[in-house]
Amino acid sequence: PLVHDVDRNPLAPMRLPIVDKWRDMGTIIMGKIESGFLRVGDVMQIMPNKLKVKVDAIYRDEKEVQATRSGENLRLRVTGADETDIMPGFVLSSIKNPVSSVTQFEAQLMIVELLEHVSIFTVGYKSILHIHTVVEECEVTKLIASVDTKTKEHKKVKFVKTGDMCICRIKVDKAICIETFQELAALGRFTLRDEGKTIAIGKVIKLPKNHN
């Protein structure tokens, strides 16, 4: 994963997952640019609610700057949206090439350690999805296959256990902004947590065809 972090593409579509927002002489959003670059005056959109905003000021380490590139932690002053319209987990995104907004996706999962009293992972399993700045309850809707970690062979199964790898479909109630791991690692790697414990780590491998 470290290689992907270093290899941010400044010419890629702009993606900035929002960590926090507040009001201070306008609407302030905070986050880290994961791809692309930003300049003062740029018009972007906040996904998934498609709010068009203009970047009025960019702050990096307390200093005001005119432009910035991927990999940097920023505070932005924007117009066009109230801070009440914005939630952590939303993504500031290029208008021409917006971030994907979905309610389900396919993932490759490594089951790290299931809870003692829920020792199998199968359809209907509910947990908390942590992907970039998103934290949402999710549910497994389809267990597509288990994956042999040595041979990579796929096999149809009803459930998997701790130490297993699988391909599954996961759904959330509200639209979230993600990308496949191949497209943008920072928006495509995630953990599943249950009762505060990491039960699985995974990567997004496929999005629905009709996503935003």
pLDDT of residue 96: 93
Q: What is the pLDDT of residues 19-55, one digit of tens each?
A: 999 999 889 999 999 999 999 999 999 999 999 999 9
The residue written with tokens 């090439």 in the block is 97
Helix, coil or strand: residue 200 = strand
Cα-based distances in Å from 107 to 82, 104, 144, 157, 169: 34, 10, 10, 16, 6
In tens, the pLDDT along 167-196 reads 999 999 999 999 999 999 999 999 999 999
Mean pLDDT (the chain, rounded) = 93
For residue 153, CA distances in Å to 103, 104, 112, 156, 180 come to 28, 24, 19, 10, 21
